[in-house]
């Protein structure tokens, strides 16, 4: 386990490289165009997110530590490590010519999730808590449909085939556009269930109307999960959406304030379900995805006001999954208890 008992840490490259022989290290993600050589050689399940860092990004690694020694595995294209309680895995799939009838990204999305579900079944970690999805050119149009919507069709089909479309089996997630990479999916799963949360200010994404694509996005707004001694809150990518509508088009500061209002509502939901103390904005760590680098100052000013100047937020450039969304925040918090 990490030294302070936390499942997750924000680390520098040197810190992550220094942890690579920690037997409890489940895996990690690295933000930035270049993957440091010492991490490429570490042999970990590692999600490399090729997104440009916007603010110097001192600690662009996220690492996930289990409670016990991990076992390493590779199956169905998924590289994973698991500790008997948690499983962290990564899969990357190139978009290749599909089956002729379906677009390549739809096929890749469906195959990636089918592989992921197969690993969960074979290894005995049936509960999917949190997923991080990255894809190239998310807002591009192919065959008259936005590529994010192609991805949603494939993802939805895989969840449907696995009988995982019931609300309580839908994980927290993020889905962002990062130029030039393959479809990359990282996930955290467990032997025990999490509690999926929805946001009272927002329509559940899995119920979005067909205006947003023929199949709705398959994610919950947050997941609350327990491991011995710790309660974890995973907040999905959260944008300036109220109901199902984008609000504050063209205004990055106002979009960020709406995100904060969404987060406050979600934290209140989490507090209602948790047996412990309330969740507060200033205990969140996470990532802010900013579409246009020139909006960084406006976004950062609002987040610093709400989360505090020392909040461990990494700011990166990425494309949000609706063309009119300028910013998205994903986050997590951990409560320790005895
Ligand atoms: C939204 O609320 C913004 O497709 O997995 C946020 C989090 C968003 C996850 C996903 C999409 C996803 O609809 C976009």
Neighbours of 101 (CB within 10 A): 7
The answer on pLDDT for 338 being more than 70 is no
Q: Is 249 helix (H, G, I), strand (E, B) or coil?
A: coil
The answer on pLDDT for 3 being more than 50 is no
The answer on pLDDT for 150 being more than 70 is yes
Q: Is the Cβ atom of 157 under 6 angstroms away from ligand 1?
A: no
Find tokens 């890749």 and name the residue.
Answer: 108
CA-205 nearest atom, ligand 1 = 13
Cα–Cα dist 78/222, whole Å: 24
φ and ψ at residue 303, rounded to 5 degrees: -70, -35
Find tokens 């994404």 and name the residue.
Answer: 205
Contact (CB, 8 A) for 194 and 86 = no
Q: State the distance from the centre of ligand 1 to the C-alpha of 241, rounded, in angstroms.
A: 10
As given in the structure block, the two tokens for residue 57 are: 């990004």
Contact (CB, 8 A) for 288 and 299 = yes
Which candidate in 62, 95, 328, 330 is catalytic? 328
Cα–Cα dist 320/256, whole Å: 13
Q: Is the Cβ atom of 241 under 6 angstroms away from ligand 1?
A: yes
Q: What is the percent of the chain where pLDDT is above 70? A: 97
Q: Is the Cβ atom of 185 under 6 angstroms away from ligand 1?
A: no
As given in the structure block, the two tokens for residue 295 are: 């909006």
The answer on pLDDT for 42 being more than 90 is no
45-81 confidence digits (pLDDT tens): 999 999 999 987 667 889 999 989 999 999 999 999 9
Q: At 98, is the pLDDT very low, low, confident or very high (cuts 50, 70, 90)?
A: low
Contacts of 45 (CB under 8 A, 6+ apart): 26, 27, 28, 79, 80, 81, 88, 89, 90, 186
Contact (CB, 8 A) for 162 and 119 = no
251-307 confidence digits (pLDDT tens): 999 999 999 999 999 999 999 999 899 999 999 999 999 999 999 999 999 999 999
Q: Is the Cβ atom of 306 under 6 angstroms away from ligand 1?
A: no
Instruction: Give the β-pairing of 145-146 and 172-177.
Output: unpaired
Nearest CA to ligand 1 atom 10: 175
Q: What is the pLDDT of residue 8?
A: 83
For residue 328, indicate whether it is catalytic. Answer: yes
Q: What is the pLDDT of residue 275?
A: 86
Q: At 2, is the pLDDT very low, low, confident or very high (cuts 50, 70, 90)?
A: very low
Contact (CB, 8 A) for 31 and 51 = yes
Q: Is the Cβ atom of 217 under 6 angstroms away from ligand 1?
A: yes
């Amino acid at each position: 386990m990490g030294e302070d008992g936390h499942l997750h840490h924000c680390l520098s490259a040197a810190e992550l490289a220094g942890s690579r022989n920690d037997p409890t290290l489940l895996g990690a993600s690295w933000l930035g165009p270049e993957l440091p050589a010492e991490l490429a050689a570490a042999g970990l399940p590692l999600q490399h997110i090729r997104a440009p860092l916007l603010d110097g990004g001192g600690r662009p690694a996220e690492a996930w530590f289990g409670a016990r020694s991990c076992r390493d595995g590779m199956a169905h294209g998924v590289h994973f490590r698991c500790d008997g309680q948690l499983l962290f895995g990564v899969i990357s799939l190139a978009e290749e010519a599909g089956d002729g009838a379906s677009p390549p990204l739809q096929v890749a999305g469906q195959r990636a999730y089918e592989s992921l579900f197969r690993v969960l079944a074979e290894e005995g970690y049936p509960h999917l808590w949190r997923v991080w999805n990255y894809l190239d050119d998310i807002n591009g149009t192919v065959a008259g449909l936005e590529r994010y919507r192609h991805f949603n069709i494939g993802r939805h089909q895989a969840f449907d085939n696995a009988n995982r479309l019931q609300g309580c089996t839908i994980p927290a997630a993020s889905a962002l556009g990062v130029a030039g990479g393959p479809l990359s999916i990282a996930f955290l799963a467990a032997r025990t269930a999490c509690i999926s949360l929805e946001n009272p200010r927002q329509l559940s994404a899995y119920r979005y109307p067909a205006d947003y694509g023929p199949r709705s996005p398959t994610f919950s707004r947050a997941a609350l999960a327990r491991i011995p001694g710790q309660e974890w809150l995973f907040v999905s990518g959260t944008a300036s959406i109220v109901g199902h509508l984008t609000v504050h088009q063209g205004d990055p500061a106002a979009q960020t304030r709406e995100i904060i209002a969404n987060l406050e509502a979600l934290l209140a939901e989490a507090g209602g379900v948790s047996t412990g103390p309330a969740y507060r904005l200033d205990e969140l760590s996470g990532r802010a995805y900013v579409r246009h680098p020139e909006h960084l100052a406006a976004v950062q000013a609002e987040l610093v006001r709400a989360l505090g100047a020392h909040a461990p937020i990494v700011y990166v450039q990425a494309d949000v999954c609706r063309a009119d969304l300028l910013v998205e925040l994903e986050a997590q918090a951990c409560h320790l208890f005895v």
